[in-house]
Amino acid sequence: MSSYTNWVHTHNPFKSATTNSFQKLYVLVTDHEAKLSMSAHPSVVGLHQSFVPVMTRFTTAYRTWKNTIAFGKTATLEIDNLLEEVIQSRIEKWEAMIRVEIPSNNALYQSLFPEGRKSFNRGKKDIRISSIIGLAKRLESFPQLSTLQTEVETLADQLREKRADQQKNESSRRESLRLLHELREETCDALFSNLGYLIGLFPANPRTVMNFFQMELVRNPRTANTQFIDEEEDLPPPILEEERNDESVMRETQETIVPEECLD
């Protein structure tokens, strides 16, 4: 590897600092845009105008992705609650209603519950939902249980609909996450480009440059990460080799960052 590859100034600190948190990048990018918008410097005004579309793409994608996560959790909770209701009260009620018409030792009763309660109480969601759908279908053969059949079928339809919505949302979540990964690269590159541009505008005033960024999130990424405890599904994919090198360089050269006292 060529010696210049590990020169700290050529590595993007925004990628290294946000490797494990989209949330942190969201804070960085919105803060940077707000600070650019407050400057009356003609060149900074132009920089702000060119940066707004980048920020908008990322923040829109981030909010969309977070909404799919929230919706997914709600849908999962609704399904879990309905299935729990079956375990806690409905299955016992159903069995009692059936026994009024069909003795429990009758083969017809066994045909309605070929596995007893097991398939309703345990297993993956789809298996348990399938058991309820199957019971509703089997009850169609018993006109004397039409009231129960309608109740079970109504529940089966609810579960089917909620499960379909949940799966559709999961597909949307994966797609929004894929887009967010792409936009993270674009956004970090834009932040790094802006940093270089501002250094060019204010080469003798590093404090002025740093005031356009929330630098504590970049200067000490590991410490700052404690402020952004993302949920498991919030985490970006494994670190790319390029970013692994960036992180290593940033760690090894941390002391080379300009101290506060030298910025005046």
Residue-wise pLDDT tens digits, 171-207: 899 999 999 999 999 999 999 999 999 999 999 999 9
Helix/strand/coil (H/E/C) assignment for every residue in 37-49: HCCCCHHHHHHHH
Q: How many CA atoms lie within 13 A of 190 on its CB side?
A: 24
State the pLDDT at residue 226: 54
State the pLDDT confidence band at 241, using cuts at 50, 70 and 90: very low
* Helix (H) or strand (E) run with residue 200 in it: helix 146-201
Contact 198, 66 (CB under 8 A): no
Amino acid identity, position 161: E
Q: How many CA atoms lie within 13 A of 139 on its CB side?
A: 24
pLDDT, tens only, 120-171: 888 888 999 999 999 999 999 999 999 999 999 999 999 999 999 888 898 8
Give strand ranges (E) for the chain. Answer: none
pTM of the model: 0.73
Segment 205-233 shows an average pLDDT of 73
Taking the CA atoms of residue 195, residue 197, residue 203 and residue 208 in that order, the dihedral angle to the nearest 10 degrees is -50
Q: What is the C-alpha separation between 214 and 26, in angstroms, rounded?
A: 12
Better-predicted residue by pLDDT, 219 or 180: 180
Tell me the pLDDT of the chain averaged across its residues. Answer: 83
State the pLDDT at residue 22: 92
State the pLDDT confidence band at 94, using cuts at 50, 70 and 90: very high
pLDDT at 254 over 70: no
